[in-house]
């Protein structure tokens, strides 16, 4: 673990992102690892590093962009967000699907930065974002189990379509962990140490 920490902190994030992306490509077309540890790491690690690269190379430009903060910029971000959500539901051939999902991921990372800058600039919903920030680790740790329960009940057992239970997973994956943490985890001395 210490070795990974040293490597990730000393190596250029752009280089790491490139290496992780190439491992993702190799995994998609050569290794075919889909297991819980190796497969997830090979498939998703590059996304973390692309966020670091976008922050390093584009954040200041985006933050200081007047056109991004204008009504036109917010409108374009909204339209791109809707198209982005629609693209996520397209299923095509395996190679084309991989390329499309990779493009959607890159666009999604940049879009998140754009929306975060717009929200902070316009002071939109600050208390809500502060709440999510205060309970971020709780959402991360508990939200997965809430989402899996919704997936099993609504997706597998009841057979409800993905867009419906996808939104339920998103909404309840944010709200339920906050409620559980506030009223159970943080009131219990042993659980609050976690």
SS (H, E, C) the chain: CHHHHHHHHHCCHHHHHHHHHHHHHHHHHHHCCCCCCHHHHHHHHHHHHHHHHHHHHHHHHHHCCHHHHCHHHHHHHHHHHHHHHHHCCCCCCHHHHHHHHHHHHHHHHHHHHHHHHHHHHHCCCHHHHHHHHHCHHHHHHHHHHHHHHHHHHHHHHCCCCHHHHHHHHHHHHHHHHHHHHHHHHCCCHHHHCC
pLDDT at 52: 77
What is the rounded CA–CA span in Å between residue 77 and residue 105? 15
**Residue segments in the chain with a per-residue pLDDT below the cut of 70:** 1-11, 33-36, 84, 87-97, 194
pLDDT at residue number 92: 58
pLDDT, tens digit, for every residue of 56-93? 777 777 777 777 777 777 777 777 777 767 766 665 55
Q: What is the model's pLDDT at position 176?
A: 96
């Amino acid at each position: 673990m210490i070795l990974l920490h040293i490597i990730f902190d000393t190596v250029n994030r752009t280089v790491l992102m490139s290496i992780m992306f190439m491992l993702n490509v190799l995994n998609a077309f050569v290794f075919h690892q889909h297991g819980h540890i190796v497969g997830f790491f090979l498939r998703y690690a590059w996304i973390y590093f692309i966020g670091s690269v976008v922050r390093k190379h584009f954040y200041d430009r985006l933050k200081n962009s007047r056109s991004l903060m204008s009504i036109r910029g917010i409108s374009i971000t909204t339209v791109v967000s809707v198209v982005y959500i629609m693209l996520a539901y397209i299923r095509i051939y395996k190679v084309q699907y991989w390329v499309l999902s990779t493009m959607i991921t890159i666009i999604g990372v940049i879009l998140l930065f754009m929306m975060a800058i717009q929200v902070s600039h316009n002071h939109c919903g600050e208390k809500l974002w502060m709440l999510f920030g205060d309970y971020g680790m709780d959402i991360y740790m508990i939200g997965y189990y809430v989402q899996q329960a919704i997936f099993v009940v609504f997706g597998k057992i009841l057979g409800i379509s993905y867009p419906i239970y996808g939104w339920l997973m998103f909404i309840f994956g944010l709200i339920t962990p906050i409620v559980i943490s506030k009223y159970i985890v943080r009131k219990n001395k042993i659980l609050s140490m976690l």
